[in-house]
């Protein structure tokens, strides 16, 4: 199955939870990042920011491998508004998002945007500033106004990130029907953690299809069974490699040079 055939069905966000990674996990993942990304991560004064920066890049590497069979560590280019793109694979689009509890990544063969938010109390002034009359009515009449606001907010952010132009107009008009004709918009929720995320993807246009690079997936290395709905990770020759699927979203990896490593 080609990447073009897979993406419309499987272009779904990859969500990683920060509390499922120990300090040791983060330290080792940080060491394995490319120098430019490691430098970005180490600029954060607080551990939460560093964790988000590290795991967002790990999620991107995993999503690229799962969707397109691309292994390795991608570099970024940025447009005039700061939207990143993949230098080595300009035909592949991606979007990253984070909140205090998790990070998310979406990859697709069309422009896309992802926004992930943790629950927080909604302020009436913010609702009035960002929502049109109908949207504000939905929020204030909902059984859970905080959740209703976040659903609409993440949808607006996802659309803006897809467009890649930043906030260049009123937030109230972002979800106007005429602006969504060429966009598929989706929203999901983690009831246990009360997280909400929305993603927007440009609708498929047959004339705009591009042939993406074909990649041969690396052969899996032996890996002791661990937990991780997204798979186990091992670093070899500075590449992130996935092996198996488990039940809880946590990556596992091994260091063959470390005899004390419990994963060996």
Is residue 104 domain-shared with residue 131, that is, in the same domain? no
pLDDT of residue 165: 80
User: Does residue 93 sit within a domain?
Assistant: yes
Which of 16-25, 184-193, 211-220 is the least confident region? 211-220
Is residue 198 domain-shared with residue 249, that is, in the same domain? no
Reported as a pLDDT band with limits 50, 70 and 90, residue 27 is very high
Instruction: Please count the CA atoms within 13 angstroms of the CA of 42 that sit on its side-chain side.
Output: 12
Is residue 24 domain-shared with residue 123, that is, in the same domain? no
Is residue 27 domain-shared with residue 84, that is, in the same domain? yes
Report how far residue 264's alpha carbon sits from residue 183's, in angstroms, rounded to the nearest whole number: 46
Q: Provide the Cα torsion 230, 198, 7, 97; round to 10°.
A: -60
Which of 35-44, 81-90, 198-207, 213-222 is the least confident region? 213-222
pLDDT of residue 11: 83
Look at the chain and report how many structural domains it folds into: 2
Report how far residue 190's alpha carbon sits from residue 135's, in angstroms, rounded to the nearest whole number: 22
Average pLDDT over residues 227-232: 36
User: Does residue 234 sit within a domain?
Assistant: yes
Is residue 182 domain-shared with residue 231, that is, in the same domain? no
Average pLDDT over residues 225-234: 37
Report how far residue 239's alpha carbon sits from residue 232's, in angstroms, rounded to the nearest whole number: 13
178-213 residue pLDDT tens: 999 999 999 999 999 999 999 999 987 765 455 555
Report how far residue 264's alpha carbon sits from residue 255's, in angstroms, rounded to the nearest whole number: 8
Average pLDDT over residues 15-25: 96
User: Does residue 31 sit within a domain?
Assistant: yes
Report how far residue 152's alpha carbon sits from residue 140's, in angstroms, rounded to the nearest whole number: 12
Average pLDDT over residues 32-58: 96
- Determine the structural domain holding residue 155 and report its residue range: 119-203
User: Does residue 58 sit within a domain?
Assistant: yes
pLDDT at residue 54 greater than cutoff 60: yes
pLDDT of residue 210: 53
pLDDT of residue 167: 75
Average pLDDT of every residue of the chain: 80
pLDDT at residue 83 greater than cutoff 60: yes
Tell me the two tokens of residue 156.
């607006």
Reported as a pLDDT band with limits 50, 70 and 90, residue 147 is very high
Is residue 4 domain-shared with residue 100, that is, in the same domain? yes
Is residue 38 domain-shared with residue 2, that is, in the same domain? yes
pLDDT of residue 37: 97
Is residue 3 domain-shared with residue 123, that is, in the same domain? no
Tell me the two tokens of residue 81.
């508004």
pLDDT at residue 152 greater than cutoff 50: yes
Is residue 90 domain-shared with residue 129, that is, in the same domain? no
Residue 144, C-beta contacts closer than 8 angstroms, at least 6 positions apart:
none
Report how far residue 240's alpha carbon sits from residue 145's, in angstroms, rounded to the nearest whole number: 41
Residue 172 gets the label, from left (phi > 0), alpha (psi -120 to 50) or beta, of alpha
Q: In this structure, is the dihedral angle defined by the CA atoms of residues 153, 155, 158 and 159, taken in order, positive or negative?
A: negative
**CATH code where residue 248 lies:** 3.90.470.20
pLDDT of residue 213: 55
């Amino acid at each position: 199955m080609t990447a073009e055939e897979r993406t419309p069905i499987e272009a779904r966000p990859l969500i990683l939870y920060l509390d499922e990674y120990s300090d040791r996990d983060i330290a080792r993942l940080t060491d394995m990042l490319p120098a430019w990304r490691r430098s970005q991560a180490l600029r954060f004064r607080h551990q939460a920011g560093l964790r988000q920066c590290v795991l967002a890049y790990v999620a991107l590497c995993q999503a690229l491998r799962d969707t397109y069979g691309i292994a390795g560590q991608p570099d970024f280019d940025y447009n005039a508004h700061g939207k990143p793109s993949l230098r080595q694979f300009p035909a592949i689009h991606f979007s990253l998002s984070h909140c205090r509890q998790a990070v998310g990544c979406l990859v697709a063969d069309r422009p896309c945007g992802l926004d992930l938010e943790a629950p927080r109390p909604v302020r009436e002034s913010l609702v009035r500033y960002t929502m049109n009359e109908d949207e504000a009515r939905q929020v204030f009449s909902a059984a859970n106004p905080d959740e209703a606001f976040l659903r609409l907010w993440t949808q607006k952010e996802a659309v803006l990130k897809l467009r890649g132009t930043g906030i260049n107009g009123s937030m109230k008009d972002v979800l106007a029907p005429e602006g969504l004709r060429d966009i598929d918009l989706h929203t999901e929720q983690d009831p246990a953690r009360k997280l909400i995320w929305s993603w927007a993807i440009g609708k498929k246009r047959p004339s705009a299809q591009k042939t993406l690079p074909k990649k041969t997936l690396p052969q899996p290395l032996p890996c002791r069974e661990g937990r991780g709905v997204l798979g186990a990770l091992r670093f070899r020759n500075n590449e992130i490699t996935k092996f198996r699927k488990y039940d809880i979203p946590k990556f596992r990896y091994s260091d063959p040079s470390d005899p004390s490593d419990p994963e060996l």
